[in-house]
Structure 1
Amino acid sequence: MKPTESPHLALRRSLDMLTLAGGIVLLIALSWEIISGDHIRFSRWYMTVQLIVCVLFLLDFFVRWASAEQKGRFFIRNILFFLISIPYLNIFGWTGMPRHLAMLIGIIPLARAFLALYLIVQWLVDNKIKRLFTAYVFTVCLFTYISALVFYDYEVLVNAKLHGFGNALWWAWMNVTTVGAEIFPVTAIGKTICVLLPILGMMMFPIFTTYILSVYQKPEKKA
């Protein structure tokens, strides 16, 4: 802890780092589960990881709530953090929900983890890298990768043109760049992702172009 740093600020930083670490663990576990799993049911070890990480997220929320000066206002303003930290996959898994329905529920806690990525963004900003460009890179890369995971999980057993996760990752990047691919989705989830990826690309690539132009225009203005 820095000499000028308050105990509450130090606690928040520690919780942020734990949350970020939990999110990374959850993403790695999800990747392994999808790429090497049977795509029929979730393994016990993955369900355990999901539960532990969600409990960590909930602990983070309640510790922050307990240390807040205005607890009612904090709860209202941060209720989304609470809702996306609940281990829905484990709850519905106990009820016997089919995997094809539970998969989308299972990725909800990842949204809580990615909210902690602002720590990395802040570190990059401190090193004189533009916040907008950094947020762009993280958003596009993470959304594309997760889309490839979900697409692969839903399509691999029913799509004859999909051979391995590498094909799914290539398909996702071709769609986010609006180029398109020869692999066509056959499931409802796959078709939905196929629509969302180009929309993300059309929204985000102009930001990239604007950033590049602003970088080159600054030296000209100084001259």
Structure 2
Amino acid sequence: MRYPKSAPKTPPEATPELAAIDRERYELLQQWESWLEMPMLVLSFAWLGLLIVELVWGLNPLFETIGITIWVIFILDFCLKFLLAPHKLFYLHHNWLIAFSLIIPALGTLRIVPIIQSLQSVHAVRGLQLLGIMTRTNRGMRLLGASMERRGIGYVFALTAIVALAGAAGIYTFERNLPNGAVGITDYGTALWWTAMVMTTIGSDYFPKTSEGRVLCFLLAVYAIALCGYATAILATFFVGQDAESDEAELAGTKSIQALQVEIAALRNEIQALAKRDLEH
């Protein structure tokens, strides 16, 4: 996550030395984020992928070790950025969700989740899983947005793929073991199909039965609405652009505007020449 460009300025009463130090720390922070932008993006996708594997199939000791290693790297990176940030509270305000995403894995690493499971608090466990999905997905989305500058159809496709894969893992986790023998989603492929139907606004004949599944379904539907609006805007821009480039179109295109500008320039020169001739006579 890049340090916001709208960061607060150094107070006027600060000495020139303090202002220079803040400026150097800000430049160093920007340089550090630029160096690690791509490695952190790759690690974020790997961390999200490990969460999906954990929710669907479970992690073996090797993958669990890799996940903990990535988590430690993220903690060190966040702590270093926090130390370099000239304005600590401002940095925390803009990166609190990332900090929260680093706290959630500690609950599993410190064996707090098994304690909750032993107390048969199913909703607490599922709530932590939902928060884990949301925070890790958000981290990947923010780093992807910073890397691609939120431009182009490629960014939208990559973002949609992340949301679909993570959403399918979540809905499978919440809806596979239902109480009272209720039939839920029995495999990850079905969950992925259900997620695709929700995100394309086609809908499905299955409705989530758990509270966490319903929350996740609502979030996917909200994203789908935004995605449809973006797709509509892209199609409208494409067709308007095609129409504008046509010589027979009712909408003035770039070529027509350029030709009109040339005619106006020629007319201006002709008027100036006539005015100059009248003055000479």
TM-score (norm 1): 0.76
8 Å Cα contact 1:178-1:198 kept in structure 2: yes
Equivalent residue in structure 1 for 2:129, among 100, 103, 115: 103
* Identical-pair percentage: 21
8 Å Cα contact 1:171-1:181 kept in structure 2: yes
- Is residue 201 of structure 1 aligned with residue 224 of structure 2? yes
Cα distance per residue 1:37-72 (max 9 Å; x no partner): 3xxxx7655554443222222222222233334455
Q: Residue in 1 aligned with 2:170?
A: 150
Q: Residue in 1 aligned with 2:183?
A: 160
- Structure 2 gap segments, 5+ residues each: 1-26, 118-124, 245-252, 256-281
Q: Residue in 1 aligned with 2:105?
A: 89
- Is residue 115 of structure 1 aligned with residue 142 of structure 2? yes
- Is residue 11 of structure 1 aligned with residue 32 of structure 2? yes
Equivalent residue in structure 1 for 2:233, among 198, 205, 210: 210
Q: Residue in 1 aligned with 2:210?
A: 187
Separation (CA, whole Å) in 2 of partners of 1:11 and 1:65: 12
For 1:89, the aligned partner's letter is P
Cα distance per residue 1:143-177 (max 9 Å; x no partner): 22211110011112235353321110000110111
Q: Residue in 2 aligned with 1:178?
A: 201
CA-CA distance at 1:139 after TM superposition = 3.4
8 Å Cα contact 2:82-2:88 kept in structure 1: yes
Q: Residue in 1 aligned with 2:17?
A: none
Q: Residue in 2 aligned with 1:78?
A: 95
Separation (CA, whole Å) in 1 of partners of 2:170 and 2:66: 18
8 Å Cα contact 1:19-1:113 kept in structure 2: no
Equivalent residue in structure 2 for 1:222, among 230, 254, 261: 254
For 1:90, the aligned partner's letter is A
RMSD of aligned residue pairs (Cα, Å): 2.9
* Number of equivalenced pairs: 206
Cα distance per residue 1:96-138 (max 9 Å; x no partner): 233434322433234223321125424xx8xxxxx16444333
TM-score (norm 2): 0.62
Separation (CA, whole Å) in 1 of partners of 2:43 and 2:136: 10
Separation (CA, whole Å) in 2 of partners of 1:67 and 1:103: 32
8 Å Cα contact 1:51-1:90 kept in structure 2: no
Separation (CA, whole Å) in 1 of partners of 2:68 and 2:189: 28
- Structure 1 gap segments, 5+ residues each: 1-5, 126-130
8 Å Cα contact 1:151-1:193 kept in structure 2: yes
Q: Residue in 2 aligned with 1:52?
A: 69
8 Å Cα contact 2:175-2:208 kept in structure 1: yes
8 Å Cα contact 2:75-2:102 kept in structure 1: yes
Separation (CA, whole Å) in 2 of partners of 1:71 and 1:163: 46
Cα distance per residue 1:184-207 (max 9 Å; x no partner): 322222222233322321222011
Structure with greater Cα Rg: 2
Separation (CA, whole Å) in 2 of partners of 1:7 and 1:100: 40
Separation (CA, whole Å) in 2 of partners of 1:66 and 1:23: 22
Distance 1:47 1:193, change over 3 A: same
